Amino acid sequence: MGENIVKPTRTSKKKVRTGCITCKIRRIKCDESKPACLRCTRTGRKCDGYASSPAPTAGPVVPAKPGKMASKEGRAQEFFYQKTVPELSGFFGRSFWNTVLQFSLTEPAIRHATIALATLHEEHSSPMTANMQPRDNLKFAIQSYNRSIGTVLKRASDPTSMPLVALASIVFTCFECLLGDPKAAAAHVASGIGLLKMWREKSGQPICSWGQNYRSFELSFVETHLAPVLCTLSLCVAEFGSPVDLYLNPVDFNSCPIFGEPFRELSESRVGLIDIITAAVRLGQEDAPVFEISVKAAGLSTALECWKMRFDDLVQRRGHSWSDQDQGAADLVRVMWQSTAVGLSVGLASNETAWDSHKSAYEEIIRLVESLIARHQDAQASATFHFEMGIISPLHLVAWKCRWPQLRRKGLALLLASSRRECLYDAFLYHAVFSWIMTIEEDHLESPAGEMLSLADLPPEQARIHHFFCEPALPATENVYSLTVFSKPNWPEAMWCSRTEYIDAPGGARPSSLSPTSPLSRLPVVNLFRTGPVSKELLQQREPQLIVYF
């Protein structure tokens, strides 16, 4: 049962016949009965009361009343529909967020969660001056968030509520990403994945290609709407120590994805690529002999080649009928493939110069990202937060691992041009980090910004940064971070050398006053995967195993 959010009696204000909040959301005519409309009560729904009319003139601030609470909720629900859903959907998330919207009309847990998310999203999108205290909207978002969690906990013991609880965990993850708390986000992802695994233990593991031949509507809903989002989120939080072992397609004994039928839609090709990335990340988390990892990595490279042939076949069959939105989605998949191919090609190489031979791939990534930004310039001008793997991670690859000066600077410029956050990834913070790393690596070059004509002209191995560790400065200062970088100045000797600097990330994510955390608060950083939260001491003890970019 939902909680009583709005008291039924309002004696201090004149009744306004504009319909109850629930009927307005459902877009049906309300009979406007008081204290609760009959249309809601007769169908077993909870009537959320009536929003108070706006005051004709500005007046003094008064304590919140039930009508004020209802007005805030109505505003948040409208913002969720008008702004949050379109901006968070990206290229592949529209179906999921429409599902969330539908659930919010009938399920109090999801309604409170969307109210919390929309309120925080509006707060995040609004201008904020330095040293400004948390606004009332932020407090209201936290209250709605806690209300939703309380409602979910009451439903969690019911096995039939698994889809609802898993859906809520994804919305909670989005809330924590927007708030800037990676640990809490990772906890919600783990909860959702745990529920999905329990579900699969009862209903069975995937035996057919993703999106095809499900035995029931409920199974299809879980596997096509919830599982892809959870798999993607598991990759995003992997840097914080979360294990990755959730697949969408069948896999062989080496956890290598098996593709059956040809791809019918772009979403199927993207899911197949996510499975390959998941397998590569999982391989990087294994503590196995190098030879065993090499064999598995070779299998993944073969799977990626198979995937590419199927993707090219899909483009040839369906590409001519795609809309502009579909063409953008296809370019995003190409960016993911290009960066994944580079990562698997470098594989187990322990030297940073192994990344230098992929100049053409870096050029293609830059071309595709430029196209994506130009194609959706108007939408990106207002959307500063995205909830899908997009362009930041591939640009991470170019801005760090590409040592060709002009290409590297283009990657850095595109990070600024994107002006966004994707889940826990902040473009402004990444730009600050990789700009400083570039300065360190190019310190000895006479004309670093000039065009380099040969591999011999690039920074030597001894000058390159292998790893870094970034966290908010203590005491917490607005957009100031402590950056520790690791190199091997005596290469080929394995001894690590570190140095720490303080960098400023102007325009980046504002560290939340409630949870001042950073997307780069653990080593290894995004896409440099290792088992568990890796400490600086552990870094000194062992070489990296597998580095994967997506």
Q: Are residues 302 and 420 in the same domain?
A: yes
Query: Which of 455, 474, 466 is CA-nearest to residue 521?
Result: 474
521 secondary structure, DSSP code = -
- Show the tokens assigned to 159: 């096995």
Inside any domain, residue 189: no
Q: Are residues 116 and 246 in the same domain?
A: no
Inside any domain, residue 472: yes
Inside any domain, residue 197: no
Give the strands of the sheet with 480-487, arranged side by side: 465-472, 480-487, 497-504
Question: What is the pairing mode between strands 385-386 and 425-426?
Answer: unpaired
Question: What pLDDT, on the 0 to 100 scale, is given for residue 44?
Answer: 58
Question: What pLDDT, on the 0 to 100 scale, is given for residue 521?
Answer: 31
Q: Are 314 and 370 in contact (CB under 8 A)?
A: no
Element (H, E) at 502: strand 497-504
Question: What pLDDT, on the 0 to 100 scale, is given for residue 80?
Answer: 94
Find the length of the chain: 550
Question: What pLDDT, on the 0 to 100 scale, is given for residue 5?
Answer: 38
Report the C-alpha gap between 413 and 417 in whole angstroms: 6
Question: What pLDDT, on the 0 to 100 scale, is given for residue 135?
Answer: 64
Q: Are residues 214 and 107 in the same domain?
A: no
485 secondary structure, DSSP code = E
Inside any domain, residue 184: no
Q: Are residues 118 and 31 in the same domain?
A: yes
Question: What pLDDT, on the 0 to 100 scale, is given for residue 67?
Answer: 53
Sort 305 into a burial class: Cβ within 10 Å, 0-12 / 13-18 / 19+. exposed
Which of these three, 141, 166, 187, is where a domain ends? 141
Strand partners, 426: 421
Question: What pLDDT, on the 0 to 100 scale, is given for residue 532?
Answer: 27
Coil, helix or strand at residue 531: coil
Question: What pLDDT, on the 0 to 100 scale, is given for residue 57?
Answer: 33
Q: Are residues 220 and 294 in the same domain?
A: yes
Provide φ and ψ at 511, rounded to 5°: -60, 125
Report the C-alpha gap between 137 and 414 in whole angstroms: 32
Query: Which of 248, 239, 295 is CA-nearest to residue 276?
Result: 248
Report the C-alpha gap between 150 and 3 in whole angstroms: 9
Q: Are residues 331 and 479 in the same domain?
A: yes
Q: Are residues 218 and 104 in the same domain?
A: no
Sort 522 into a burial class: Cβ within 10 Å, 0-12 / 13-18 / 19+. buried
Q: Are 500 and 171 in contact (CB under 8 A)?
A: no
Q: Are residues 125 and 211 in the same domain?
A: no
Report the C-alpha gap between 405 and 451 in whole angstroms: 7
Count how many domains the chain has: 2
Q: Are 417 and 402 in contact (CB under 8 A)?
A: no
pLDDT tens-digit profile, the chain (550 residues):
444 333 444 444 444 446 776 676 566 777 776 667 766 655 656 666 665 433 333 333 333 444 555 688 999 999 999 999 998 988 899 999 999 999 999 999 999 999 999 999 988 877 554 444 456 788 899 999 999 999 999 988 888 889 999 999 999 999 998 888 888 888 899 999 999 998 888 887 777 788 777 778 888 899 899 999 999 998 887 766 566 788 888 888 888 888 888 999 999 999 999 999 998 888 877 777 878 888 888 899 999 999 999 999 999 999 999 999 899 999 999 999 999 999 888 877 888 999 999 999 999 999 999 999 887 665 544 567 888 888 898 999 999 999 999 999 999 999 988 877 888 888 888 899 999 999 999 987 766 666 666 788 899 999 999 888 887 777 666 778 888 888 899 988 888 888 888 888 776 554 432 222 233 333 333 333 222 223 343 344 434 333 333 3
Q: Are residues 213 and 135 in the same domain?
A: no
The answer to whether the peptide bond before residue 511 is cis (omega within 30 degrees of 0) is no
Element (H, E) at 166: helix 162-179
Q: Give DSSP secondary structure letters for 196-249.
A: HHHHHHHH----S-TTS--SSHHHHHIIIIIHHHHHHHHHHTGGGT------SS
Provide φ and ψ at 465, rounded to 5°: -95, 120
Inside any domain, residue 168: no
Which of these three, 87, 115, 141, is where a domain ends? 141
Q: Are residues 287 and 401 in the same domain?
A: yes
Reduce the secondary structure of 142-155 to three states and give it as a string: HHHHHHHHHHHHHH
The answer to whether the peptide bond before residue 475 is cis (omega within 30 degrees of 0) is yes
* Cβ neighbours, 10 Å, residue 99: 16
Which of these three, 141, 158, 177, is where a domain ends? 141
Q: Are residues 118 and 215 in the same domain?
A: no
Inside any domain, residue 6: no
Which CA distances in Å does 218 have to 182, 203, 221, 265, 344? 31, 10, 5, 21, 36
Strand partners, 251: 257
Provide φ and ψ at 497, rounded to 5°: -125, 135
Report the C-alpha gap between 295 and 252 in whole angstroms: 14
Amino acid letter, 510:
R
Q: Are residues 129 and 223 in the same domain?
A: no
Inside any domain, residue 2: no
pTM comes to: 0.78
Q: What range does the domain containing 40 cover?
A: 21-54+65-141
Q: Are 173 and 188 in contact (CB under 8 A)?
A: yes
Inside any domain, residue 92: yes
For tokens 């990340």, the residue is 281
Angle at alpha carbon of residue 344, lines to 338 and 346, rounded to 5°: 105
